[in-house]
């Protein structure tokens, strides 16, 4: 994967775009990757791959649950149970955090810039 510094990408935008047509290109700022640029074709492929992968994972999960004897009634009972640590959209400290937990996190407020 080709890597460009943010300033370099800005000044050599034509070359930057050409590279992104062949392979993903990383953009670095202060020695950190701050972005990746891919071709429109690769972006479309990613957009179709992710939902298909999710559907496949859900089918596998449903098949495993059915083999384990989970019924629609049992699933409804599990979903209605509020005694486990994930209640009303909040994750409590007793439950390990995981990237799949979609809780809303408060973002730090930005300081107002001083006006001259």
DSSP codes joined into one string, 30-66: TTEEEEEE--HHHHHHHHHHHHHHHHHHHHHHHHHHH
Q: With the C-alpha atoms ordered 81, 85, 91, 97, is the resulting torsion angle positive or negative? A: negative
Over the stretch 17-71, which tens digit does the pLDDT of each residue have?
999 999 999 999 998 999 999 998 888 887 787 788 888 888 888 888 888 888 8
pLDDT attached to residue 114: 59
Query: What radius of gyration do the chain's Cα atoms show?
Result: 22
pTM: 0.44
| Residues whose CB falls within 8 Å of the CB of residue 36, separated by 6 or more in sequence, listed in order | 24, 25, 26, 27
């Amino acid at each position: 994967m080709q890597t460009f510094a943010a300033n370099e990408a800005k000044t050599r935008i034509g070359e930057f775009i050409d590279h992104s047509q062949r392979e993903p290109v990383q953009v670095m700022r202060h020695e950190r990757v701050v972005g990746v640029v891919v071709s429109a074709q690769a972006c479309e492929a990613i957009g179709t791959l992710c939902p298909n992968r999710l559907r496949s994972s859900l089918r596998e999960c449903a098949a495993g649950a059915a083999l384990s004897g989970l019924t629609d009634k049992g699933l409804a009972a599990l979903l209605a149970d509020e005694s486990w640590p994930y209640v009303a959209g909040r994750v409590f400290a007793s439950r390990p955090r995981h990237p799949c937990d979609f809780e809303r996190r408060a973002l730090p407020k930005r300081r107002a810039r001083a006006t001259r």
